[in-house]
Structure 1
Amino acid sequence: MEEAFLHFIWNFQHFNSRDLFSDSGQRITVFHPGFKNSDAGPDFKNAKIKIDDVVWNGHVEIHINAQDWVRHKHQHDEAYNNTILHVVWNNDAAISRQDGTSIPSLELKHIVGERLILKYTKLFEPQAAILCARFMDEIKPITLHSMMDKVLAQRLEDRSNSIFREIAFTENDWEEITWRMLCRNFGFKTNAYPFYELAKSTPLKMLKRESGQLATLEAILFGQAGFLEEEGQDEYHLRLKSEYEFKKRKYGLERALDKHQWKFLRLRPANFPTLRLAQLAALIHRQPNLFSLFIDSESFLDLKNELSIEQSPYWIKHYLFGKPSKTHSKKLGKSAIENLLINTAAPLLFAYGIHQDREELKDRALHWLASIRSEQNAITGKWIDIGLKVNTAFDSQALIGLFNSYCLKKRCLSCAVGVEVLNKP
């Protein structure tokens, strides 16, 4: 038995309410169960309950065992002084408020139907990653879609809050925060950390001054990343080493990374950090005003085209310094561009919309997500396996959020889908 299940039972009044009596024999009539409280204090606030002949307005606290009230020391907490009813599964103790007055208790275990308990047990019984998978055919599409909308909005708001926390360290410089977000996502999952550290040690303002020369941008980025510390591998490597030493002295740069911090193992050559650094340099060379690029782009297709950058000729025939390879793709791939749009452009646009109180920016971010193909990963695969269609990034981002925030934590009773499963007769 979990307390969350008792919250569900109380909230939806899933018990025989015709003849309710407290532990001391008082007749109970529930006019309103109250509103679920997500903050500190009693579990349900502003309930309206008749106890014998008196109608009370106040709060309801819920526990599995009545003695949990004492264990949590609520009797010493003034926040619980307006509690009018203690709802428990097992009434194993009498409880009181701070002033010593007793609080009536309602025991649920004898008045909740066996069918509901069996359904609850069945929902939480399997070891599957998505517990409601077996009930998915019974769920109304609008229930799932409304939950997805809610989770995606929360996911974007959480990302926005992360941006707001970090922007405080950049003196409210939206260009710099864009640069940091872009770098972190250029590393994708495997090299996100070193790319982020690179961004913090290499200010965009400085790079913008050098944006006219692609080789100089490469020298600074590869130097700061630690790839120019070893002996010269070829003529181009030596040229970048020389250029980096000059710019390092000019700008007082301090290298934040060593070559060994970058991960190559199990990566396809197209995802090697060396190639990503070359593409990042090419992007700054082509479009140094990153924040404006994302915020001012009205056309989703135009933005995709701007991100479809071509790296320098050296990196069309190399994946590593000094090791020629067959000629490979000149441009950042379609999947990589879509990843940057999903994880950089859309969250940034949404956050700036909140910051500026501009709903049209938030709507544009959602429109972009609805225009991009869905991500293909382990989590989206789980939803596809149980029969869901995951067509767009709007879908995949929502379902990733739903899985991480609800399914993984078994928060079914806080999810509209889980609630509908249990509410069905």
Structure 2
Amino acid sequence: MSESFLHYIWQCQYFARTDLRTTNGDALTIFHPGVRNTHAGPDFPQARLQIDTMEWVGSVEIHILASQWVDHRHDTDPAYDNVVLHVVWKNDRPVLRSDGSVMPTLELYGRIDETLIANYKILVNSPWLIPCVEQFVQVPPIIKVDMIEKATSIRLERKTQTILEMLKSNNHDWEETCYQLLARNFGFRVNAEPFLMLARTVPLKILLKHADKLLQIEAFLFGHAGFLDDMKGNDDYVNRLIREYELLFNKYKVSRARLSKAQWRFLRLRPANFPTIRLAQFCVLIHTHRQLFSKLITATSANQLVELFSLQQSPYWKEHYHFMKKGKGEMPSMGLESIYMIIINTVVPLMVAYGKQRDDQEMIDRAFMMLQEMPVESNTIIRQWRKFGMSAVTGFDSQGLIEMHDHFCVKHRCLDCSIGAYILKP
């Protein structure tokens, strides 16, 4: 038995409600179970019920054992003085309020259908990454679609909160926040953190002073990323970068918390995805587009954004995948699939965050519409869902499926999932 399962049982009222009585024998009638509280304090505030002849409005607290009321120190916490009913799986001991009066308690043991308990155990103990894989086919399509929409909204909301926290740390500078967010996502999953660290140590406002000279932007970023450390040779481009970086570093006295080469990952990456190539592409983006934040949030279509990100890196990085290491052929510019990932993970949540801050529903709606214009992502998670019969058509769908996998299925949060709730419904 788990507390989250009891929360689910109470919220849905999935227990025998005939002749309900407290452990003291008082008749109990439930008019409203309350509203689930995901923050500190009692589990279900705003409950309305009747005990014996008295009607109560207050909170319901849920535990597996009644003794956990004392174990969790609720007996000394004033926040729990408004609890009107203690719901437990087993009543192992009487519970008293802080004023010494007996806490009305409802024991659920013996009142929950054994089949419901068995189905719950099957889900939480499933060896599959998708716990409900064996029951999945029984779930109506409308339930699955509803969960995808719910998961996508949750995912966007979490990304939005991350952006707003980043904005706060940047003194509410949207341009700087956009720059850092883009940098992190140019690193994709493997090099996201060093890219973000680099953007935080080299402010955008400094780069914009040299935005008309691509070589200086490259020098500043490659130098501060640690790629120019101990670099020697007859490569003219490298020598120019070193000279420019030394001048710029001494001029601006930027943070000395430079990165090192060891922080960048190359292993198991194709040359086109090397951080050196991605950083060269990022430099061209800063060089080409001033007022980048404004251009991103005012975009009206995915095609417009694809065109904005379709840039060729400088000539050196068309031939090289690393310093002084030439490729067998020309190094490609950022591919369409990578651009779509940048739009999904940067532009869409950025538009939602800005729209929420400005109370601009039109911008939020445009962001959601743009996500629906994106093609479905191609990764192991989406391929796994397809094996189980869950199809995805757009980027909106794939974002929902990724969220379901990472934050519901893997964590066995079946009780918070519409699909899991349908399977468990008695």
Under TM normalisation by the shorter chain, which class is it? Answer: over 0.9
More off after superposition, 245-254 vs 366-375: 245-254
What is the SS of the residue equivalent to 1:420? helix
Cα 1:78–1:321 shift into 2, 3 Å: closer
- Contact 2:321–2:331 (8 Å) recurs in 1: no
> 1:377: which partner in 2?
379
More off after superposition, 352-361 vs 368-377: 368-377
> 2:220: which partner in 1?
220
2:73 counterpart of 1:101 = no
2:153 counterpart of 1:153 = yes
Cα 1:170–1:77 shift into 2, 3 Å: closer
Q: Deviations over 1:137-170 (max 9, x none)?
A: 2223332322322222222222222222222232
More off after superposition, 216-225 vs 261-270: 216-225
- Contact 2:62–2:88 (8 Å) recurs in 1: yes
More off after superposition, 347-356 vs 404-413: 404-413
Q: Deviations over 1:223-257 (max 9, x none)?
A: 22222231135122122222222333333345512
Superposed displacement of residue 312, structure 1: 1.5
Cα 1:336–1:21 shift into 2, 3 Å: same
- Contact 1:304–1:337 (8 Å) recurs in 2: yes
> 2:246: which partner in 1?
245
Count of residues paired in the alignment: 424
User: What are structure 1's unaligned runs of at least 5 residues?
Assistant: none
User: What are structure 2's unaligned runs of at least 5 residues?
Assistant: none
2:193 counterpart of 1:193 = yes
Superposed displacement of residue 329, structure 1: 4.1
Rounded to whole Å, the distance in 2 between the matches of 1:106 and 1:142 is 36
Q: Deviations over 1:22-50 (max 9, x none)?
A: 22222222222222222222222222222
More off after superposition, 26-35 vs 175-184: 26-35
- Contact 1:248–1:254 (8 Å) recurs in 2: no
Superposed displacement of residue 111, structure 1: 2.0
- Contact 1:34–1:47 (8 Å) recurs in 2: yes
Q: Deviations over 1:66-107 (max 9, x none)?
A: 111121222222222222222211111111211111122222
The letter of the residue matching 1:210 is H
- Contact 1:233–1:322 (8 Å) recurs in 2: no
Q: What is the aligned counterpart of 1:339 among 335, 338, 341?
A: 341
The letter of the residue matching 2:236 is E
Q: What is the aligned counterpart of 1:264 among 263, 266, 272?
A: 266
- Contact 2:214–2:284 (8 Å) recurs in 1: yes
Cα 1:39–1:191 shift into 2, 3 Å: closer
What is the SS of the residue equivalent to 1:21? coil
- Contact 2:48–2:58 (8 Å) recurs in 1: yes
Q: What is the aligned counterpart of 2:413 among 408, 411, 414?
A: 411
What is the SS of the residue equivalent to 1:131? coil
2:50 counterpart of 1:43 = no
- TM-score, reference length from structure 1: 0.94
2:124 counterpart of 1:124 = yes
> 1:386: which partner in 2?
388
The letter of the residue matching 2:414 is C
Rounded to whole Å, the distance in 2 between the matches of 1:260 and 1:38 is 41
Rounded to whole Å, the distance in 2 between the matches of 1:165 and 1:120 is 37
- Contact 1:194–1:261 (8 Å) recurs in 2: yes
What is the SS of the residue equivalent to 1:382? helix
Cα 1:78–1:206 shift into 2, 3 Å: closer
- Contact 2:227–2:260 (8 Å) recurs in 1: yes
Cα 1:186–1:49 shift into 2, 3 Å: same
Rounded to whole Å, the distance in 2 between the matches of 1:84 and 1:261 is 55
Rounded to whole Å, the distance in 2 between the matches of 1:253 and 1:98 is 58
Which of the pair has the greater relative contact order for Cα pairs under 8 Å at 6+ separation? 2
What is the SS of the residue equivalent to 1:390? coil
> 2:235: which partner in 1?
234
- Contact 2:137–2:389 (8 Å) recurs in 1: no
Cα 1:83–1:220 shift into 2, 3 Å: closer
- Contact 2:355–2:363 (8 Å) recurs in 1: yes
**Aligned alpha-carbon RMSD (Å):** 1.9
- TM-score, reference length from structure 2: 0.94
What is the SS of the residue equivalent to 1:142? helix
What is the SS of the residue equivalent to 1:153? helix
> 2:69: which partner in 1?
69
